[in-house]
Amino acid sequence: MKKLIQCAALIACAGPLYVHSAETDSWHYNIGAMYEIENVEGQVDDKDGLYEPSVYFNATYGDWTIALAMYQEGPVDYSNFTRGTYFNRPELNIRYRFIENDSGSFGFTTGVRNYGYHFKNDDGSENGTANTQRWGFIPDYSLKINDALSFGGWFAYYRFDNDLDQTGYSDSRVETETGLTWTINETFTLKTNYYLERGFNTESDKNNGEFSTQEMRIYLPITLGSNTFTPYTRLGLDRWTNWDWSEDIDIEDHDYNRLGLLYAHDFNNGLSMTLEYAYEWQHHNEGDDDKFHYAGIGVNYAF
């Protein structure tokens, strides 16, 4: 769920319009685009990095929200502008809001995403395709403790089907981020969350694509008029992977920490945008240490 911070900022900018639309049971729409890049210094295996352009459209009426997205995620070689995958990964989600009042909220989202791959041989010739579907079941929740403190988050269970041996994915995954939000005043807010992402297989004779990531995520949104600055950190608690399971079944451990800054601006006419940069340093028990850079830009129009 890489886009959670950016999406939250974009939706927050359009928040007053969303509340008004929900109260009057009128349609409310969001249309936007994001472009994200990830680069590991000195990395050769993934060419020059990974990038993920995406476009999305959300429609809300009362308690229902329909979300459509199209994106690409894959390696990019900036020297010749080649792509590891095409812009062919659609996603559809439907959310129903069961509860939303002064005490808290509860919603449930379900949907499907298609992961499309186009494989190539070393000489650049075509070598087949793969399509893996991810089915998601995602409750989200919040509970107001007092006027300054609240508890909330989301929990996702994903099921993957088709071409798993080709894509390297495990057949199941859970992901969650949950924690406390302290509203200090109109300017400052502090959020401390626990994050977990775990890929696993329900069949005992398989171990492809299994991994685990646990983090503490701490955010400090600072609101100044139409601008919101959110410095944040991800403190790695535990991470291991075995993506090379076909050659080496032993898991690889990683130590890492991240610092980032997300900037959001509301143009007060339905248009909002975000800019984000993050730096992460990683230590692996196999191979060299890495320095990781993330950058993203997003734009949203609410109407």
Question: What pLDDT, on the 0 to 100 scale, is given for residue 82?
Answer: 52
Closest by CA position to 277, among listed 265, 267, 263, 291 = 263
Question: What pLDDT, on the 0 to 100 scale, is given for residue 153?
Answer: 96
In whole angstroms, give the CA distance from residue 73 to residue 36. Answer: 9
Largest CA distance in the chain: 62
Domain that holds residue 50: 4-302
Point out which residues pair with 152 in neighbouring strands: 142, 179
Question: What pLDDT, on the 0 to 100 scale, is given for residue 5?
Answer: 44
Residue 156 token pair:
């996702």
Q: Are 112 and 91 contacting, i.e. CB atoms less than 8 angstroms apart?
A: yes
Q: What percent of the chain has pLDDT over 90?
A: 58
Closest by CA position to 287, among listed 257, 246, 243 = 243
Closest by CA position to 212, among listed 243, 246, 180 = 243
Q: DSSP readout, 15-33?
A: HHHHHHHHHHT-EEEEEEE
pLDDT tops 90 at residue 278? yes
pLDDT tops 90 at residue 291? no
Question: What pLDDT, on the 0 to 100 scale, is given for residue 28?
Answer: 95
Confidence of residue 253 (pLDDT cuts 50, 70, 90): confident
Lowest mean pLDDT, pick from 121-135, 210-224, 273-287: 121-135
Lowest mean pLDDT, pick from 172-181, 206-215, 278-287: 278-287
pLDDT tops 80 at residue 49? no
pLDDT tops 80 at residue 301? yes
Lowest mean pLDDT, pick from 120-124, 172-176, 238-242: 120-124
Residue 264 token pair:
């959001």
Lowest mean pLDDT, pick from 11-15, 88-92, 118-122, 187-191: 11-15
Q: Are 143 and 114 contacting, i.e. CB atoms less than 8 angstroms apart?
A: no
Q: Which residues contact 298 (CB under 8 A, 6 or more apart)?
A: 3, 6, 7, 9, 10, 32, 33, 34, 35, 273, 274, 276
Lowest mean pLDDT, pick from 93-107, 127-141, 213-227, 283-297: 283-297
Closest by CA position to 116, among listed 84, 157, 82, 159 = 84
Burial of 270 (0-12, 13-18, 19+ CB in 10 A): middle
Global pTM value: 0.86
Phi, psi for 264 (deg, rounded to 5)? -125, 140
In whole angstroms, give the CA distance from residue 5 to residue 57. Answer: 17
Q: Are 112 and 94 contacting, i.e. CB atoms less than 8 angstroms apart?
A: no
3-state secondary structure of 167: helix
What letter represents residue 176's amino acid? T
In whole angstroms, give the CA distance from residue 285 to residue 283. Answer: 7
pLDDT tops 90 at residue 124? no
Greater model confidence, 275 or 240:
275
With tokens 């308690």, the residue in question is 63
Question: What pLDDT, on the 0 to 100 scale, is given for residue 13?
Answer: 45
> What is the CATH classification number for the domain harbouring 270?
2.40.160.40
Report the mean per-residue pLDDT for the chain: 84
Q: Are 62 and 22 contacting, i.e. CB atoms less than 8 angstroms apart?
A: yes
Per the structure, the count of domains in the chain is 1
Closest by CA position to 50, among listed 73, 28, 32 = 73
Model confidence over 146-174: pLDDT tens digits?
Answer: 999 999 999 999 999 999 888 888 999 99
Residue 101 token pair:
């009042």
Give the pLDDT mean for 54-65.
Answer: 95
